[in-house]
Structure 1
Amino acid sequence: MIEIDTISLKKYIVENNKIEFVLQEIGCHNIKYHPLKNYYTCSYYNGDNPTAINVFNDDYIKVVNWTRSKNFDKASDIITLIEYNKNYSFLEALKFLHKILELEYNGYSKKSEIKVKNPCELFKRIKDSVRGKGFDVNEINYLDEDLLDDFVPLLHINWFKEGVMPWSADKFGLSYSYKRKRIIVPLRHWMTGKLLGTNMRTVIPCYSELGIKKFLITPSYPKSLNLFGLYENYESIQKAGYVVIFESEKSVIKRDSLNDSTCVALSGHTISDEQIRILIGLNVDIIVALDKDIPIEEVRDICSKFYGIRNVYYIWDKWNLLSEKDSPADALNKIYQFLIKYKIKFDDKEHKEYLKGLKE
């Protein structure tokens, strides 16, 4: 018999589409899945607010509480919710999960059993967890292009000084809001090119000290279902035979200004199942190029999603050529080309290092 850890248990729940079932078993009401944001909303066993809880459909099954925050924190997950709803201890919650999922419980361990998965399971999981719950590309809420008329088509001097060129500003439709003092980046659907939202980045110095948000993204923007820059760069990516994955839209635009149109952005440093599916569907090599401050464990975790399906590499600045929070796209072109040349292939050796990290 094998002792199981919480990572393996939560992955089992997600891969077998059991989140809704677990929520029902612990007495949650008004359970509703939101495919564009890839999470569930529900109320407590003893409450009636239908959006009191957000339960994310990812391997961690993160839980965000909006009404009883004193019982939850940033690390809360579905096990935390079971402990609260059932008034269980941690181990009691684990035993309860095993019972309702009809799994044999033989104690808790920090070590997990690692199994090699069939790559095709990824597509089945996406189909069941996203499309199988009613997601349809035709149901995405596109925005009216007239929205952009409120802004001035303009390349802001700050971005010009950072290397963004006018032709790239035109290509990606950059504009500026004098009223909000923000650079406007249109976010377009990777396949249709239709407007999904905007990312408005402040140009006010010391914004953090003033309590001003650096980014304001359209609330309805379905980040987990899109890849910035793919619509504009698709043909170049196919011709080059590889795609470079950055975190931010600005990185994609800066590289395009250097006549490199092989890049897309996650709009963050996490990747969703739908973004994985889109990237695999490109049938090209994949290069992960996250910011300098992202831990190697997170980089390898993203690479592992493509392991055995596509050739996958990652950029790792072991020479300390980048500043602490820089994107590789922030470097001089000769430094970027150096990092690309010495990119690390996520091969069997790297995969073993990744699995070793999961056990520690």
Structure 2
Amino acid sequence: MTALEIKEYIQKNGKIPYVLESIGCSNIVYHDNKDYYSCSNAVGGDCNNPAAINIRNNKYLNYRNYTRGVEYDDGKDLISLVQYNKNIDFANAMKYLHKLLGLKNLYKVKEEKKKPDDSWFVFSRFVVKRRKCVVNDFDPMSEDILNDFVPYIHIDLFREGIIKRTIKKFGLGYSYRWRRTIFPIRYWLDGTLMGYNARSSIENCSEFGISKYFITPGMRKEINIYGLWENYKDIQKAGYIVIFEAEKSVLKRDSRMDPTGGAIEGHVLSDEQVRIILGIGVEEVIIAMDNDVPIEEVWNMCEKFYGLRKVSYIRDKWKLLGPKDSPADAPNKIYNFLFKWRIPYDESKHREYLKSLKKNS
């Protein structure tokens, strides 16, 4: 389940008191007139105040802690309270709630029977070997598919700077049969294999009617951040995350000893991706889209974090990048310069964005 789905499950099934009790809160009372719960803190602080915490009885489960100076209104919720009381990060809080509520037992994994290869459909085996399963709200793929690829990448990507250490870390591979470099895509929370993005190594492949990229059919990239599973600890240590457009940008920065990137695999930031980023506990979110993405789209992404986190964006005002380049395509010296002079998305930028909306309406 996603963060929003597990909160909706807790609220709809009346599990708020159960969760609060499990993390040490007591004096739990429901206030029908304003539709919220109050309770005291867990042992170790002001646990005698029966109304220290107020938590709303809605699908967002926002709360406020009046005695510990920790306010969790905008973007903070029951999951954050679990993190606070159990002293764990967001990923482990999600695992804790799944286990506490017995959600693992709701799903059964069943292997599909093997089907013969379909020669006219490229990578048909990607679909054949997928398992029927709704854990995490998507269909995981079998790890056995990894055996079909050699642990290397095409020479062109190697020349672009993706090194052996990064190849191993992200599990990259190459298919000689399909002449494609394989980018495994793992779910940010537990590393489950969601699918692949496969990049053709055939020069001018579009002229032969061959797509440059082949992504696993039906894969829900909007509920994931590519690279977050691999870079999670480094991102938390740094205190910020750099949001790129494509997987290759994350890989290039990792190869330059910078494991702070994640990719949304496009330039549309979904609500679930916003929730994931808010939940990992970073102080700053840095938007680093490709050079051809309009500034209004970049501002729209920044707007989703404005007031919740420190947010900034990288923009090439000095024309140091190519027309369609990612900041990650630049050498370290140029990237570090662009990173240093990233633009804060402050109140003035917020007003400028609102003006652009009125102008275009």
Mapped partners of 1:321, 1:193: distance in 2? 36
**Per the alignment, in what secondary structure is the counterpart of residue 182 of structure 2?**
strand
Aligned residue in 2 for 1:231: 229
State which of 212, 231, 240 in structure 2 corresponds to 1:242.
240
Judging changes above 3 Å, is the alpha-carbon distance between structure 1 residues 138 and 325 closer, same or farther for their aligned structure 2 residues?
closer
TM-score normalized by the length of structure 1: 0.62
The aligned residue for residue 278 of structure 1 is 276
Q: Alpha carbons of 1:288 and 1:122: their partners in 2 closer, same or farther (altered >3 Å)?
A: farther
Give SS of 2:241's match.
strand
**Structure 1 contact 303–346 (Cα < 8 Å) conserved:** yes
**Where does residue 300 of structure 1 map in the other structure?**
299
Q: For residues 279-358 of structure 1, what are the structure 2 equivalents within 5 Å?
A: 279-284=277-282, 285-358=284-357
Query: CA RMSD, aligned part only?
Result: 2.0
Q: Any idea what SS the aligned residue of 1:338 has?
A: helix
**Secondary structure of 1:190's match?**
coil
Alignment check: 8 A CA contact 1:197 1:220 kept: no
**2:137, 2:288 → 1: CA distance?**
31
| Distance (Å, rounded) in 2 between the aligned partners of 1:209 and 1:314 | 35
Q: Which residue of 1 aligns with 2:219?
A: 221
**CA distance change for structure 1 residues 122 and 321 in 2, over 3 Å: closer, same or farther?**
farther
SS of aligned partner of 2:312? strand
Query: How far did 1:139 drift?
Result: 3.8
Write the distance in 1 (CA, Å) between the matches of 2:306 and 2:135.
27
Q: Distance in 2 between matches of 1:180 and 1:246?
A: 27
Specify the code of the residue in structure 1 equivalent to 2:155: I
Report the equivalent of 1:208: 206
Residues in 2 aligned to 1:218 and 1:176: alpha-carbon distance in whole angstroms: 16
Q: Aligned partners of 2:77, 2:289: CA distance in 1, in Å?
A: 23
Q: After the TM superposition, which residues 68-83 of structure 1 pair with which residues of structure 2 at under 5 Å, given as runs?
A: none
1:207 to partner: Cα distance = 1.7
Partner Cα separation in structure 2 for residue 328 and residue 320 of structure 1: 11
Counterpart selection for 1:165 from 163, 166, 169? 163
* 1:122 Cα deviation from its structure 2 partner: 11
Q: How far is the alpha carbon of 1:194 from its aligned partner?
A: 1.1
Superposition TM-score, scaled by structure 2 size? 0.62
Residue identity matched to 1:343: R
Read off the aligned partner of 1:245 and give its amino acid letter: I
Distance 1:203 1:311 in 2: 39
Q: Is the 8 A contact 2:287 2:298 kept in 1?
A: yes
Task: Give the CA deviation at 1:121.
Answer: 10
CA gap of 1:244–1:137, structure 2 versus 1, over 3 A, is farther
Change (3 A) 1:219 1:122: farther
Q: 1:122 to 1:342 in 2, by over 3 A?
A: farther
User: Is 1:256 equivalent to 2:254 in the alignment?
Assistant: yes
Q: Displacement, 1:148?
A: 1.6
Code of the residue aligned with 1:292 in structure 2: it is: N
Unaligned runs of 5+ in 1: 1-117, 124-133
- 1:210 to partner: Cα distance: 2.0
Q: Distance in 1 between matches of 2:241 and 2:76?
A: 23
Match of 1:198 among 196, 199, 204: 196
2:153 alignment partner, SS class: coil
Separation in 1, partners of 2:136, 2:344: 37
| SS of corresponding position for 1:193 | coil
Cα offset for 1:140? Answer: 2.4
How do 1:134-145 residues align onto structure 2 when only pairs under 5 Å count? 137-145=135-143
